[in-house]
Chain A
Amino acid sequence: MYPKKFDYFLPGSLNEAIKLLHEREDSKVLAGGQSLLALMKLRLAAPAALVDITQVKDELSYIKKEKTHLAVGALTPHDHLEHNKVVGSLFPILVDAASKIGDQQIRNRGTVGGSCCHADPAADLPTAFLALDPKFVVRGTRGQRSIPSSDFFVDTFSTAVKKDEILTEIRIPYLPKRSGSAYIKHSRREGDFAIVGVGVALTVGPKNVCKDIRISLGAVAPTPIRAKSAEKHLKGKKLNEETIVASAEEANLEADPPSDMHGSREYRLEMIKVFTKRAVKLALSRV
């Protein structure tokens, strides 16, 4: 099906794009289009104007090692994140998540920034990022600001990015020595959205005592969330079968999952425990 009519703009620079977003009423950023065009084809979205930022790719598609963090440009395609060696060695959780998105064609075209700005609660990268507590850098007419991950996802399909702002970069702080990370997606078929997604980033001290841990959950609330009770349970404890299982029992305390055709609320609450256990173990195995 055809989308509804719209005006199309192809700015050559980021500043020009921001200006267009500011000036044009009911305008929207078009990145990979793998979510937005689908919504427009189904007429679930009908923006009056699209500001296509794919031309500013050189400015926004990169993965760079900085002093304190890894910088990922918003227009980096999922496929690049999946195959980047630096990402693979520092943040295997992101490879887990990127490689599980849709299919090869979607990963070729869809972008990291688009996935975060679309903010589907069942999407893979937002959940994985939440476990790494990055900063989201956005630019608008009033300049640049940096949004902590705890404030970025506001509601289903809604983020802290304002209408005339563009997400430019995600800054992921390096994990300390002796850290491991993992993301596990539970879905009925390959390529489906998650029924439950769990991200874990942990750091251990001597004798596998958990120095720090972040557990994130997807598809079980209006936004990706942190399983703070389970995190608290494990901090300072030795990580073994017993403590991991006990903490996983508490992993669903903050969740408020929906019931839909992919799984009932009760099923999801149960699966959170199962997949939290597995994700913590996988992350631990990668320390």
Chain B
Amino acid sequence: MLKSDLAKVTCKVNGKEYSGLVEPRTLLVHFIRDELNLTGTHIGCDTGHCGACTIYMNGKTVKSCMVLAVQANGAELMTVEGLAEGDKLHPLQEAFWENHGLQCGYCTPGMLMSSLFLLERNPNPSEGEIRRAIEGNLCRCTGYVNIVKSVKAAAKKMNENSRTQKRTSK
């Protein structure tokens, strides 16, 4: 391929700067997985339905199979790899673990991203609100019941954490 066919993409992923050359038709999810080797983001369909590829782009969740890699030039991304701090799991990850919010784990990275987006906007969601927030994330294993339970548990953890944080900062 001629070099002129390639476009340069520079973006921040999980706080770290990356750049690479891509064909314009490269989907963002392929760039993340194949160029950046961040394989936590999954691909489950061709039509934008399954949500396994959900990531944060400039503070909002998007399906990274429905965005071109070139469109991420200059963007800030967060993938599932950006949730934990070193060995310390994010409260959402802990809650999914403790409440059996996954079986095969294929949908989990996307579920975590959608759940986080919900909890950022709505720290005390009802069951209905949780179910609506993960509408765009299909799970073939759990039947969703334990996922909903996990998100509820995570909300509680995160609210408690922010309360203790407030107390210690006073």
Decide yes or no whether A145 CB sits under 8 A from chain B: no
Q: Please name the residue on chain B nearest to A49 by beta carbon.
A: B24
Q: Are B70 and A103 in contact (CB under 8 A)?
A: no
Range, interface on chain A = 20 to 34
Complex alpha-carbon distance, A190 and B132, angstroms: 8
Given contacts A2-B25, A38-B48, contact A105 B61 (CB under 8 A): yes
- Residue B47, interface by CB 8 Å: yes
Cβ < 8 Å to A, chain B residues 122-159:
132-133, 135-137
Query: CB distance A103 to B136 under 8 Å?
Result: yes
* Complex-state Cα separation, A109 to B137, whole angstroms: 16
What is the distance, in angstroms, from B34's C-beta to the closest C-beta of chain A? Answer: 12
The reply on B79 being an interface residue by CB < 8 A is no
Of A5, A37, A105, the residue contacting B136 (CB under 8 A) is A105
Interface range for B: 20 to 34
Q: Tell me the bound Cα distance from A61 to B169 in angstroms.
A: 39
Say yes or no: is A212 at the interface (Cβ < 8 Å to chain B): no
A134-151 vs B, Cβ < 8 Å mask (1 yes, 0 no): 000000000000000000
Minimum C-beta distance from B41 to chain A (A): 13
A-B contact count (CB 8 A): 84
User: In the complex the two chains form, is B25's CB within 8 Å of A1's CB?
Assistant: no
B48 touches A104 (CB 8 A): no
Cα-based distance from A42 to B65 in the complex (angstroms): 12
CB within 8 Å for A106 and B68 given contacts A6-B24, A7-B24: no
Q: Do A103 and B135 contact each other (CB < 8 Å), given the known contacts A5-B23, A38-B47, A52-B71? A: yes
- Is A34 a contact of B48 with CB atoms below 8 Å? yes
Give the Cβ gap from A62 to chain B, nearest Cβ, in Å.
Answer: 17
Instruction: From known contacts A4-B25, A38-B48, infer whether A102 and B136 are also in contact, taking CB-CB under 8 Å.
Output: yes
Residue of B nearest to A5 (CB): B25
Contact of A108 among B48, B61, B132 (CB under 8 A): B61
In the complex, A102 Cα to B60 Cα: how many Å? 16
Q: Which residue of A lies closest to B63 (CB)?
A: A105
Please tell me if the beta carbons of A41 and B23 are within 8 angstroms of each other in the complex. Answer: no
Check if A234 is an interface residue, CB within 8 A of chain B: no
Which of B7, B61, B135 sits near A190, CB closer than 8 Å? B135
Contacts of B55-112 to chain A: CB distance below 8 A = 60-63, 65-68, 70-71
Contact status of A6 and B135, CB under 8 A, knowing A41-B46, A105-B54:
no
Cα of A105 to Cα of B61 in the assembled complex, Å:
5
Q: How far is the CB of A35 from chain B (nearest CB, A)?
A: 9
Chain B residues whose C-beta falls within 8 Å of the C-beta of A10 in the assembled complex: 70
Q: Can you pick out 11 interface pairs between chain A and chain B where the beta carbons lie within 8 Å of each other? A: A4-B25, A6-B24, A33-B71, A37-B27, A40-B25, A54-B71, A79-B60, A102-B135, A104-B61, A104-B133, A109-B62
Give chain A's interface residues, CB within 8 Å of chain B: 1-8, 10, 30, 33-34, 37-38, 40-42, 50, 52, 54, 79, 102-106, 108-109, 190-191
A-B pairs, top 7 by smallest CB distance, nearest first, are A103-B136, A8-B24, A103-B135, A108-B60, A3-B25, A105-B63, A105-B136
Known contacts A38-B66, A105-B136; 19 additional CB pairs below 8 A are: A1-B46, A2-B25, A2-B30, A3-B25, A5-B24, A8-B68, A33-B66, A33-B67, A42-B46, A50-B24, A52-B68, A105-B63, A106-B66, A106-B136, A108-B61, A190-B132, A190-B135, A191-B135, A191-B136
